[in-house]
Amino acid sequence: MAALGWLTSRRRSATALSVLAGEASAEAARKAELGQVLEAEAAAAALVPDTAAGARTAVAEAEAEGAGEPAEPVFPVVGDERAAAFFDLDNTVMQGAAIFHMGRGLYKRKFFQTRDLTRFAWQQAWFRLAGIEDASHMEDARESALSIVKGHRVAELMAIGEEIYDEYMADRIWPGTRALAQAHLDAGQRVWLVTAAPVETATIIARRLGLTGALGTVAESVDGIYTGKLVGEPLHGPAKAEAVRALALAQDLDLSRCAAYSDSHNDIPMLSLVGHPYAINPDAKLRKHARARDWRLRDYRTGRKAAKVGIPAAAGVGAVAGGTAAAIALHRRRFTR
């Protein structure tokens, strides 16, 4: 892991691990952007309608779903190079949790051994039934998930991730949120995913959507091989805010002119950093918080589906392991029937 000398040190309320996770994610995102600009532009041109008129029409259609809300000033501001947009991934950009779908794909490819099933299923069942974040279970879940990729090459997981995106994720993108992201791109702004999913998975999704890049959980690797350790902790809650803060510092962004979008109250620290926070498909706590502070709300779900759609964003099982454990538990239930 390269030294993060380009960041200024400062004391914050976040834990040291949150700060480390955020700064590591920002460093990884910065390097990925520098090394993949041409590839990202080619992907955007090939996969995303690139006319401003078309994107703005899509935004208008998406906003019609929230008809009855007061008119807003024109946003994003065209040509504001110190503004950017930060989008949570799970249940904000995509229905369900990316790591859940990644887990399905890895299970299908025999990455899990039979002896792992019972432990993963028990950890996931405890979280869902008890409804609390048990520290020992969270740590064990993270270590179990990391052990799955330990010894594998980063390039191998990236190649598999491309396949899994096509198999399970491509059809789960919310059109409304995608249109909002495109509006920022058309305004000349950078657009980043910010997620607890592995940074490699997040980078694949960002590239496929024609976005600038992604901030995600960083797993340590040496010479291109995973060591089975994290850099810091999962990019969750306060760590997301630290990642956004670090990237803004590196790219000379004015956070008061930036926007952030999320469905979860766990992302309130990130949403509170920017001048334009949006609650997208919000959970009950975020909806209440957003209304109290007059934040903008968008809900692209309808009726009863709004309460049921998607998988919780692994908020408490450590993100790296949470969705994977859910996938294994699902397969275990099917296997034992």
DSSP string across 203-260: HHHHHHTT-SEEEEEPEEEETTEEEEEESSS-S-THHHHHHHHHHHHHHT--GGG-EE
CA distance 324 to 317: 10
Residue 231 · residue 208 · CB < 8 Å: no
How open is the CA angle 91-153-17, to the nearest 5 degrees? 55
3-state SS, residue 36? helix
Beta strands in 64-134 (DSSP E): 84-88
Copy the structure tokens of residue 166. 């096509």
CA distance 326 to 192: 26
For tokens 């947009």, the residue is: 85
CA distance 301 to 280: 10
Query: For residue 138, what is the enclosing H or E element?
Result: helix 135-149
- The type of residue at 138 is M
Beta strands in the chain (DSSP E): 84-88, 190-198, 213-217, 219-222, 225-230, 259-262, 276-280, 296-298
CA distance 66 to 192: 24
Residue 206 · residue 94 · CB < 8 Å: no
Residue 194 · residue 244 · CB < 8 Å: yes
Annotated catalytic residues are 88, 90
How open is the CA angle 197-20-84, to the nearest 5 degrees? 65
